[in-house]
Amino acid sequence: MLSLLSGLVGLGASRYRSLLRLVCFPLLGLSGLAAATGGLLVLTGDAVAAQLPLGLPWLPWSVRVDALSGFILLLIGVVVFAVAVFGPGYTREFLHGRHSLSALGVFTGLFVAGMQLVVIADDAFMFMVAWELMSLSSYFLVAFQHENAANRRAAFLYLLMAHVGGLAILLGYGVLAAFGGGFTFEAMRAAELPALWAGVAFALAFFGFGMKAGLVPLHAWLPEAHPVAPSHISALMSGVMLKVAIYGFVRVTFDLIGTLQVDWGVIVLLVGSVSALLGVLYAMQQTDIKRLLAYSSIENVGVIFMALGLAMIFLASGQPLLGSLGLIAALYHALNHAVFKSLLFLGAGAVIQQTHQHSLEHMGGLLKRLPYTGTFFLIGCLSIASLPPFNGFASEWLTLQTALQGVVLESGVLRIVIPVTAAMLALTAALGAMLFVRLYGIAFLGQPRTRQARQAHLPSFGMRAAQGLLAVLCLLLGVLPALAIDVMGAIPQSLGGLPEPGITGEGWLWLTPVSPAVASYSAPLVLLGLGLTWGLFYLLLHGRKEQPLRRVHPWDCGFGPLSPRMQYTATAFAQPVRRIFQPVWQLDEKVERLSDDKSSQLTGLRHQLLVTDRSWGLLYEPIGRWVLRAARRLALLQSGNIRTYLSYSFFTLLFLLWLIT
């Protein structure tokens, strides 16, 4: 209700511009706090259910919050609250522009309300209404700056693929409702599906929710839509909306279908592995900071689906403890990704607001001019690069530990496939660390490459506070993962009575996913070791009585003063990876020699590089050509003759009468 009220108040934001800052965002913040509080209460208590006086006369809307939906509500609430703190300062640049503030306020409130309603829905009808509300409102937010043709194209692509995925989800619910005798989730749980129809329902759910989550090759909309939306909306889409899609997949697959098949888990595991690896490889070649972060979301969604695939394999193979371990690893990484990816998108928004630049090649030296944003962004980079003691390491380590238990399976094929995917996860993590070294080094270190970067100044206090909140959560979720996983312990029990995996059996200090003898990890001890090492280094460096270190400019090799052109560029940094994995991309690279017209003397070189996603040429362009060809043939029916149109109506009427009788 608070989210909807925020959208309602937003109707007057174009006329009374202060409404957006003084009313809409505070209401969103309260909505986030309410969602987080309600989710936490359910996680530590009992599920609650009710019926709303809405819907159809014979099908009222049913709502229910159990441990799984409570966990996602908590995730939504945390990010929405941070966005509400960040928003007033960020949207200040829109106050005197030509964009509609009413549209921004209305559709932001509807977008948040749609995601919350999806999570609490307990019947397919309410779920699909909320799903469409989420998709349509986010379409208008992607198209907010619609004067740019690229933004309109990205919004249309997003809307098209969102509805294709939504149709698949609707058909999947149709299969479950047909055998369950009703549209409520309770009726679907009680249904006994034949193996064939269970496979159909799984395939439709995997396709629909996988498209919304951004799995390869269904990811084409994601790197187009996320970069063009306002940055606080990008944080909501990447940090929250993708998790709502993952929630839908978990709800249908683990809860409503019930009986899992090993083959399903293998498919999810392989698609997740490919998505993770290709996501980080495509991100490595991007120079647009938000497009890079969007491709990185594909990588992390792939990691989450890898863990879900492992959980499905173990559960179908009669290993419920390991299945619960994979499920907890997936959901914990979903929480971690929501926090650090939202932090990075908000940080990118602050950078873009102050520099008016999207390209890494036009940044540099921002740490001196944006010290708070630079520090918080560094924490986000360390977290997403899976370095201890930050939160990204804990969840990826649990995923890797789950994969290493593949030796308990009887199938020789699975004992080969799972270690290969574990190796792909390790490669993905290594490339991810390199990716964010590149991002942070090019954007925040060195010398400013443009005048706009040199003139950047501190963003507003609210923008810094929102980033600081998420940065603290990255550290807390990384240092105290046992406490967070303890709170999540009720989720497996709510999904068909699965056992708790016993990850925190040794107390809050240790994670022992299988047993203390097999593997253990203590983030507090890692943090203590890092603190002692830093303290010893500080004493050795500053405890001496000699003169302090003298700071001078680096030696310029005799070529004159250092300039920004002497620095590594983002394109050059990624060149070794581009050479090694060249078949992954469709590359168009040219080096143009510039010369003086009179003397023909070489005056310079110009390097041009265009990196294209191969999925466009292999999948989407052929589909587009087929649709256009079919449309041209169907256009022949439009003859312009009224007699022909009357004949169509007459024969259609005859066919319907025959069908009815």
- Residue 474: band (very low, low, confident or very high) from pLDDT cuts 50, 70, 90: very high
Cα–Cα distances in Å, from 414 out to 139, 272, 440, 505?
A: 41, 16, 39, 28
- Please give the angle made by the CA atoms of 605, 610 and 615, to the nearest 5 degrees: 165
Which residues, 6 or more positions from 450, have their beta carbon under 8 angstroms from its beta carbon?
355, 357, 362, 363, 364
- Mark whether 480 and 607 lie in a shared domain: no
- Mark whether 591 and 493 lie in a shared domain: no
- Residue 338: band (very low, low, confident or very high) from pLDDT cuts 50, 70, 90: very high
Residue at which a domain ends, from 501, 518, 545: 501
pLDDT at res. 579: 87
- Mark whether 435 and 469 lie in a shared domain: yes
pLDDT at res. 548: 66
Residue in the block written with tokens 């969604």: 301
The span from the CA of 184 to the CA of 121, in Å, is 9
CA 148, chain centre distance (Å):
24
- Mark whether 586 and 638 lie in a shared domain: no
pLDDT at res. 398: 93
Query: Among 298-307, 320-329, 581-590, whose mean pLDDT is lowest?
Result: 581-590
Residue 601 scores a pLDDT above 80: no
Q: Radius of gyration (Cα) for the chain, nearest Å?
A: 26
Residue 605 scores a pLDDT above 70: yes
Proportion of the chain above pLDDT 70, given as a percent: 98
- Mark whether 384 and 360 lie in a shared domain: yes
- For residue 317, tell me if it sits in a domain: yes
Do 332 and 509 meet the contact criterion of CB atoms below 8 Å apart? Answer: no
Residue 437 amino acid letter: V
Segment 239-253, tens digit of pLDDT? 999 999 999 999 999
- Cα torsion 216, 219, 222, 224: sign: positive
Instruction: Give 414-421 contacts, CB < 8 A, sequence gap 24+.
Output: 414/262, 414/266, 414/313, 414/317, 417/266, 417/269, 417/270, 418/269, 418/310, 418/313, 421/269, 421/270, 421/273, 421/306
The span from the CA of 102 to the CA of 110, in Å, is 12
pLDDT at res. 393: 93
Q: pLDDT: is 11 or 58 the higher one?
A: 11
The Cα diameter of the chain in Å comes to: 103
- For residue 35, tell me if it sits in a domain: no
Residue 557 scores a pLDDT above 80: no
Paired with 48 in beta bridges are 65
Helix (H) or strand (E) holding 591: strand 586-595
- For residue 412, tell me if it sits in a domain: yes
- For residue 427, tell me if it sits in a domain: yes
- Mark whether 329 and 400 lie in a shared domain: yes
- For residue 15, tell me if it sits in a domain: no
- Mark whether 266 and 373 lie in a shared domain: yes
The span from the CA of 251 to the CA of 244, in Å, is 10
Tokens of 250: 């978990």
- Mark whether 294 and 361 lie in a shared domain: yes
- Mark whether 433 and 324 lie in a shared domain: yes
Do 271 and 327 meet the contact criterion of CB atoms below 8 Å apart? Answer: no
- For residue 391, tell me if it sits in a domain: yes
Which residues, 6 or more positions from 26, have their beta carbon under 8 angstroms from its beta carbon?
84
**Residue among 416, 204, 202, 217 nearest 316 (CA):** 202
- Mark whether 376 and 462 lie in a shared domain: yes
Segment 172-209, tens digit of pLDDT? 999 999 998 889 999 999 888 899 999 999 999 999 99
Number of domain units in the chain: 3
Do 364 and 448 meet the contact criterion of CB atoms below 8 Å apart? Answer: yes
The span from the CA of 231 to the CA of 290, in Å, is 8
**DSSP result, 204-228:** HHHHHHHHHHT-TTS-TTHHHHHHH
Do 204 and 194 meet the contact criterion of CB atoms below 8 Å apart? Answer: no
pLDDT at res. 433: 94
Paired with 50 in beta bridges are 63
pLDDT at res. 66: 92
Cα–Cα distances in Å, from 131 out to 119, 139, 163?
A: 10, 12, 10
Average pLDDT, the chain: 89
pLDDT at res. 568: 84
DSSP code, position 582? G
Do 121 and 61 meet the contact criterion of CB atoms below 8 Å apart? Answer: yes
Do 574 and 601 meet the contact criterion of CB atoms below 8 Å apart? Answer: no
- Mark whether 353 and 449 lie in a shared domain: yes
Which residues, 6 or more positions from 315, have their beta carbon under 8 angstroms from its beta carbon?
260, 265, 323, 498
**Residue among 298, 303, 309 nearest 269 (CA):** 309
CB burial readout 177-206, b (16+ within 10 A) else e? bebbeebbbebbeebebeeeebbebbbbbb
Segment 280-295, tens digit of pLDDT? 999 999 999 999 999 9
Residue 603 scores a pLDDT above 90: no
**The length of the chain, given as a count of residues:** 661
pLDDT at res. 552: 79
Tokens of 624: 């587009």
- For residue 416, tell me if it sits in a domain: yes
pLDDT at res. 106: 93
Helix (H) or strand (E) holding 56: strand 48-56
Residue in the block written with tokens 């390869």: 216
Residue 272 scores a pLDDT above 90: yes
- For residue 240, tell me if it sits in a domain: no
Segment 50-96, tens digit of pLDDT? 988 887 777 888 999 999 999 999 999 999 999 999 999 998 888 77
**Residue among 431, 407, 432 nearest 419 (CA):** 407
The span from the CA of 203 to the CA of 65, in Å, is 26
pLDDT at res. 92: 86
pLDDT at res. 638: 76
Segment 384-424, tens digit of pLDDT? 999 989 999 999 999 999 999 988 888 888 999 999 999 99
Residue at which a domain ends, from 456, 472, 501: 501
pLDDT at res. 377: 95
Do 338 and 239 meet the contact criterion of CB atoms below 8 Å apart? Answer: yes
- Mark whether 309 and 422 lie in a shared domain: yes
Query: Among 111-115, 221-225, 546-550, 554-558, whose mean pLDDT is lowest?
Result: 546-550
Average pLDDT over residues 449-455: 89
Which residues, 6 or more positions from 5, have their beta carbon under 8 angstroms from its beta carbon?
27, 109
Residue 306 scores a pLDDT above 90: yes
pLDDT at res. 519: 85
Give residue 335's domain range. Answer: 260-501
Q: Provide the Cα torsion 423, 610, 439, 557; round to 10°.
A: 110
3-state secondary structure of 613: coil
Segment 365-375, tens digit of pLDDT? 899 999 999 99
Average pLDDT over residues 482-492: 90
Tokens of 576: 């070794």
- Please give the angle made by the CA atoms of 123, 126 and 129, to the nearest 5 degrees: 145
pLDDT at res. 546: 61
Residue 494 scores a pLDDT above 70: yes
